[in-house]
Structure 1
């Protein structure tokens, strides 16, 4: 059963029981992404690590380690 079919079935059941219809699939996806991002930032602050720029700093460390090993990157990082 697809997500759309499950949503339609749940909507039908809610209408038969006089309840509110469930939210459509994908309505709260971006909210969930923002909450995961905010949770990661919160954990970084709790662990006394930088909350911003962690991915870029990690990539910079990886590139410098690869350059030290003799591997060249296709283009320099900004």
Structure 2
């Protein structure tokens, strides 16, 4: 059963029982990713590292290359 099918089933059950509707699938995905990133940055600072995002530095190293003169 897909997430959409489960959502529709849960919505139907909630409407039959008078319960609050469930959130649609994928609504909180961005918030979860942001909290995971924040947690990783906090752990890095607590471990004595940099609080900057490691992916940005890696992308900058890959994408921004020195130009030959």
Q: Per the shorter chain, which TM-score range?
A: 0.7 to 0.9
Q: How far is 1:12 from its partner? A: 0.6
More contact order relative to length (CA 8 Å, sep ≥ 6): 2
* TM-score after normalising by structure 2: 0.77
Gaps of 5+ in 2: none
Q: Which has the larger radius of gyration?
A: 1
Distance 2:53 2:2 in 1: 38
Gaps of 5+ in 1: 64-74
Moved over 6 A (4+): none
* TM-score after normalising by structure 1: 0.69
- Pairwise CA RMSD: 2.3
